[in-house]
């Protein structure tokens, strides 16, 4: 739903001609995911689908039918890359093995984004975003901190393991295209999402091989302040990593007497005595507004940040001036504002050329005009539910 | 060690990055076979060289597991970029490179005399990527950005957390690897464009924006409806049960999810409650969401009586998505990851053989592999100056005594 679609979106937004292949009738699962205008479900108005499929054309194909698979092979014969996220059992059932797809197109790059890769004892395990975030080791690291042993490890919002899979898929696929310039040959690129998640554990994993220690969300942070505080009108995240940042912050607070206590004399003791320090800080911070502290702190090079709500992001003068949010003009959903270009190229602009496709919108264009089927053949395929 | 060429064989990267986001980008390029040369300064070493974990708890500039993880396969040259002569040498290196990567705050490279307009003169088809926290333009572009603060800044914290709790973190500085990966994607796109047109370009990446790009459900709920999804712990609006459940043992947990009604029926039978599979209180997603507290209690009764590994085996055998919530020891010892050859165990001159996380993709035609461990500080200075840039050994000695090369 997300991983292959995001990989395809990254390529489509950079100018590739991407054709989204969906099952007939129900379409992609993201069409049922929302968010929907007014919270009323509608397959053409799901925000997740509209976002993940910008700049793509869309066709429908029933891959459980032989003729559906044949048409997919025809499409692949004409393509530079095929991206999918069917786990191994479905991949085999649908005939999406690399050898078969590449038989008629030596240059084809096939990107398989899978939960656990294609080898090893867990290759056929069922998975969701939550189980993969857990299998990759990030979930264990997040929770309520010291004293919250009874609370479970906590996932991040959204479908982050799938986004990581998609990013790695796009990267591997493009690297294979680059290699093809030299070798003339395509290849099979296999992504394991569990490994993608295990690859982003910051400094935590190496504590085990380097020191025999297991990083835990329940431990005291090594340095402070690095924590959330409630202001008059919202939340900020206070971040003082270097001593000079803390000293500047203390000055900004008007040098309260408690700040000079021995207990808080360096970042290590501030961490060791965090319960006490946090109360002092909270008392001062709650009298101020988010924006006031953000501006005042940043003006003095203290790297604190607001805890942005979605409203804050959309209202941000900074993001506005960079033109970050894009408007997707969709025939049924209307104008939808969504995250836009995550990078800006000086020579090759990122742009929205078309909105996400309606279900089966480009069946004629792709099957008749591109693959050369006759109108009668397409009608027959439609009658049989292949398209 | 793999000997076959990786997909980016022959591509050279002048790597001015530091901390995590930038080095994570160039790690991908190194994994793909590019020669990545980190330009370091001995007087101001990479932050990650100065952070734990230290091998066997003993501090050393080359002993940090944090640095050694994210700089695998790269080379290191030490230049004191405060000195004009060092900046000249950096330019000579750029002239022999395809890509320049940096993640300083906006404007820092320009002030060092290494901004894109200068480097474009030095190497007209250079591809340069700047990966700052806020991006290269806009009223906040010169703000200070640290990884932990990026998660709340991007909006992720306001969406993440236990129900009725304050906003929370996600456990890692998520903007760093997400920015780094988007950066690597952008660099590959620019390489493909250069191969076709002969033209390089400048890429402006904002870590804040790349993180927001992974939050469409949050952003679009707001733009469509003026609301944002409430913090839901591990629950999901479209699946139930969907959570992390306590198992037997100290801090042992299993994650599981029922994607569909059929998943739920299989789950109910697997946990010894076949009668629930047909119970109207749980028969549909709507019903399970309405009774989710009770549902979670019943599942916890079952998980508490077994290890997460047992729970996973039972549920997977029934076709239900489930997995142990892995800690680093679990990952390190995982039979599957080890069978797949995921971990890297190369010998580092100072810390010996340590297990590192490897490459999450597998390419049959142009194999990717970690070809050497992370470099010691300045390990490749002589190679870069002599072999690559053509300096003689007496010149190098003079540069060293002048403190240009540190």
B169-196 residue pLDDT tens: 999 999 999 999 999 999 999 999 999 9
The residue among A278, A308, A338 that closes a domain is A308
Of the candidates A33, A153, A209, which has its C-beta nearest B238's C-beta? Answer: A33
**A83 domain residue, yes or no:** yes
Dihedral sign for Cα B280, B283, B285, B291, please: positive
pLDDT of residue A1: 83
Residues A236 and A164 reside in one and the same domain: no
Residues B43 and B148 reside in one and the same domain: yes
**B224 domain residue, yes or no:** no
In total, the C-beta contacts within 8 angstroms joining chain A to chain B are: 485
Residues B82 and B192 reside in one and the same domain: yes
Of the candidates A127, A185, A346, which has its C-beta nearest B202's C-beta? Answer: A346
Q: What is the pLDDT of residues B41-70, one digit of tens each?
A: 988 899 999 999 999 999 999 999 999 999
**A148 domain residue, yes or no:** yes
Q: Do A152 and B234 touch (CB under 8 A)?
A: yes
**B336 interaction partners in chain A (CB closer than 8 Å):** 116, 120-123, 194
For residue A239, the enclosing domain spans 226-308
Can you give the CATH number for the domain in which A249 is found?
3.30.1540.10
Mean pLDDT for B263-267 is 98
Mean pLDDT for B332-355 is 98
**A190 interaction partners in chain B (CB closer than 8 Å):** 361-363
Distance from CA of B398 to the nearest CA of A (A): 35
**A145 interaction partners in chain B (CB closer than 8 Å):** none
pLDDT of residue B2: 41
Whether the pLDDT of residue B271 is over 90: the answer is yes
**B225 domain residue, yes or no:** no
Residues A298 and A328 reside in one and the same domain: no
Q: Do A127 and B193 touch (CB under 8 A)?
A: no
Total of domains in chain A: 2
The residue among B269, B299, B326 that closes a domain is B326
Of the candidates B201, B223, B331, which has its C-beta nearest A338's C-beta? Answer: B223
The residue among A253, A273, A308 that closes a domain is A308
Distance from CA of A384 to the nearest CA of B (A): 27
**A118 interaction partners in chain B (CB closer than 8 Å):** 362
Report the predicted TM-score, pTM, of the whole model to 2 decimal places: 0.98
Indicate the helix (H) or strand (E) that contains B28: helix B21-31
Residues A247 and A283 reside in one and the same domain: yes
Whether the pLDDT of residue B1 is over 50: the answer is no
The residue among B326, B348, B366 that closes a domain is B326
Low-confidence ranges of chain A (pLDDT < 70): none
End-to-end CA separation in angstroms for chain A: 20
Whether the pLDDT of residue B3 is over 60: the answer is no
**A211 domain residue, yes or no:** no
Query: Which letter does DSSP use for residue B53 in this model?
Result: P
Task: From A98, A68, A60, A65, select the one nearest A82 (Cα to Cα).
Answer: A98
For residue B265, the enclosing domain spans 242-246+252-326
Whether the pLDDT of residue B101 is over 80: the answer is yes
**B26 domain residue, yes or no:** yes
What is the distance, to the nearest Å, from the Cα of residue B59 to the centroid of all Cα atoms in its chain? Answer: 24
The residue among B266, B298, B326 that closes a domain is B326
Q: For testing the chain A interface, which of B175, B223, B347, B364 should be mutated: the one with the most A CBs within 10 Å?
A: B223
Task: From A48, A43, A46, A80, select the one nearest A163 (Cα to Cα).
Answer: A48
**B230 domain residue, yes or no:** no
Distance from CA of B152 to the nearest CA of A (A): 4
User: Least CA distance to B238: which residue of chain A?
Assistant: A33
Whether the pLDDT of residue B253 is over 60: the answer is yes
Q: What is the pLDDT of residues A11-31, one digit of tens each?
A: 999 999 999 999 999 999 999
The residue among A308, A334, A365 that closes a domain is A308
Residues A230 and A185 reside in one and the same domain: no
Task: From A8, A344, A349, select the one nearest A167 (Cα to Cα).
Answer: A8
Residues A26 and A151 reside in one and the same domain: yes
* A237 and chain B in contact, CB less than 8 A: yes
Q: For testing the chain B interface, which of A45, A85, A154 should be mutated: the one with the most B CBs within 10 Å?
A: A154
CB A117 within 8 A of CB A123: yes
Q: Do B212 and A313 touch (CB under 8 A)?
A: yes
Total of domains in chain B: 2
**B203 domain residue, yes or no:** yes
**A130 domain residue, yes or no:** yes
Residues B89 and B45 reside in one and the same domain: yes
Rounded CA separation B284/B286 (Å): 5
Q: Do B192 and A10 touch (CB under 8 A)?
A: no
* A40 and chain B in contact, CB less than 8 A: no
For chain A, percent of residues with pLDDT exceeding 70: 100
Which alpha helices (DSSP H) does B318-384 contain, by range?
A: 328-333, 335-339, 381-382
Banded pLDDT at B126 (limits 50, 70, 90): very high
Residues A44 and A182 reside in one and the same domain: yes
Q: Do B158 and A127 touch (CB under 8 A)?
A: no
Mean pLDDT for B286-308 is 97
Residues A304 and A253 reside in one and the same domain: yes
Whether the pLDDT of residue B341 is over 90: the answer is yes
């Amino acid at each position: 739903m997300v991983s292959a679609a995001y990989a395809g979106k990254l390529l489509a937004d950079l100018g590739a001609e991407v054709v989204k292949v969906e099952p007939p009738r129900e379409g992609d699962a993201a069409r049922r995911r929302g968010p929907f205008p007014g919270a009323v479900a509608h397959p053409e108005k799901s925000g997740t689908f509209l976002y993940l499929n910008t700049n793509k054309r869309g066709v429908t194909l029933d891959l459980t039918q032989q003729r559906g698979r044949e048409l997919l092979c025809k499409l692949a014969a004409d393509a530079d890359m095929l991206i999918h996220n069917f786990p191994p059992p479905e991949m085999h059932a649908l005939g999406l093995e690399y050898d078969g797809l590449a038989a008629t197109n030596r240059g084809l790059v096939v990107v398989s984004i899978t939960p656990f890769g294609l080898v090893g004892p867990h290759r056929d395990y069922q998975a969701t975003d939550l189980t993969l975030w857990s299998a990759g080791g990030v979930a264990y690291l997040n929770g309520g901190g010291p004293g919250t042993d009874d609370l479970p490890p906590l996932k991040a919002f959204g479908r982050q393991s799938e986004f990581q899979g998609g990013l790695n898929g796009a990267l591997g696929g493009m690297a294979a295209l680059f290699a093809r310039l030299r070798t003339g040959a395509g290849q099979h690129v296999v992504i394991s999402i569990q490994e993608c998640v295990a690859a982003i554990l910051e400094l935590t994993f190496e504590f085990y091989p380097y020191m025999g220690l297991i990083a835990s969300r329940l431990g005291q942070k090594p340095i402070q302040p690095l924590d959330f505080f409630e202001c008059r009108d919202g939340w900020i995240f206070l971040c003082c990593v270097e001593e000079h940042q803390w000293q500047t912050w203390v000055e900004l607070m008007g040098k309260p007497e408690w700040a000079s206590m021995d207990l808080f004399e360096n970042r290590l003791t501030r961490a060791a005595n965090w319960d006490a320090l946090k109360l002092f800080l909270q008392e001062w911070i709650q009298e101020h507004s988010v924006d006031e502290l953000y501006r005042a702190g940043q003006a003095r090079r203290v790297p604190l940040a607001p805890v942005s709500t979605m409203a804050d992001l959309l209202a941000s003068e900074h993001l506005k001036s960079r033109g970050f949010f894009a408007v997707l003009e969709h025939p049924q959903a209307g104008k939808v504002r969504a995250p836009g270009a995550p990078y800006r190229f000086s020579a090759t602009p990122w742009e929205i050329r078309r909105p996400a496709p309606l279900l089966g919108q480009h069946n004629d264009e792709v099957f008749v005009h591109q693959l050369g089927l006759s109108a009668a053949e397409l009608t027959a395929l439609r009658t049989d539910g292949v398209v | 060690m793999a000997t076959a060429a990786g997909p980016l064989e022959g591509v050279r990267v002048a790597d001015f990055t530091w901390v995590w986001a930038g080095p994570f980008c160039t790690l991908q390029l190194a994994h793909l076979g590019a020669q990545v040369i980190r330009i370091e300064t001995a007087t101001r070493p990479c932050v990650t060289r100065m952070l734990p974990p230290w091998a066997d708890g003993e501090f050393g500039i080359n002993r940090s597991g944090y640095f050694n993880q994210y700089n695998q396969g790269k080379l290191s040259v030490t230049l004191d970029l405060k000195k004009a002569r060092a900046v000249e040498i950096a330019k000579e290196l750029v002239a022999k490179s395809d890509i320049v990567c940096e993640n300083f705050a906006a404007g820092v490279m320009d002030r060092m005399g290494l901004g894109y307009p200068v480097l474009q003169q030095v190497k007209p088809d250079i591809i340069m990527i700047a990966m700052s926290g806020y991006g290269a333009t806009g009223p906040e572009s010169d703000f200070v950005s640290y990884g932990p603060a990026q998660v709340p800044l991007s909006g992720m914290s306001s969406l993440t957390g236990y129900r009725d709790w304050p906003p929370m973190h996600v456990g890692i500085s998520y903007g760093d690897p997400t920015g780094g990966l988007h950066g690597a994607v952008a660099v590959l796109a620019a390489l493909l464009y250069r191969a076709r047109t002969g033209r390089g370009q400048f890429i402006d990446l904002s870590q804040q924006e790349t993180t927001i790009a992974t939050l469409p459900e949050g952003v679009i709920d707001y733009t469509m409806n003026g609301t944002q999804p409430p913090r839901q712990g591990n629950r999901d609006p479209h699946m139930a049960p969907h959570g992390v459940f306590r198992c037997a043992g100290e801090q042992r947990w299993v994650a599981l999810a029922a994607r569909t009604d059929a998943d739920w029926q299989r789950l109910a039978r697997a946990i010894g409650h076949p009668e629930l599979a047909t119970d109207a209180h749980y028969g549909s997603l709507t019903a399970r969401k309405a009774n989710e507290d009770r549902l979670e209690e019943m599942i916890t009764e079952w998980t508490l009586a077994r290890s997460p590994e047992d729970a996973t085996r039972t549920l997977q055998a029934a076709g239900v998505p489930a997995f142990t919530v892995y800690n680093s020891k679990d990952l390190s010892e995982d039979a599957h990851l080890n069978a797949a050859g995921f971990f890297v165990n190369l010998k580092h001159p100072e810390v010996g053989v340590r297990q590192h996380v490897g490459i999450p993709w597998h390419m049959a035609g142009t194999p990717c592999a970690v070809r050497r461990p992370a470099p010691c500080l300045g390990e490749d200075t002589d190679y870069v100056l002599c072999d690559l840039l053509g300096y003689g050994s007496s010149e190098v000695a003079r540069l060293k005594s002048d403190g240009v090369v540190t």
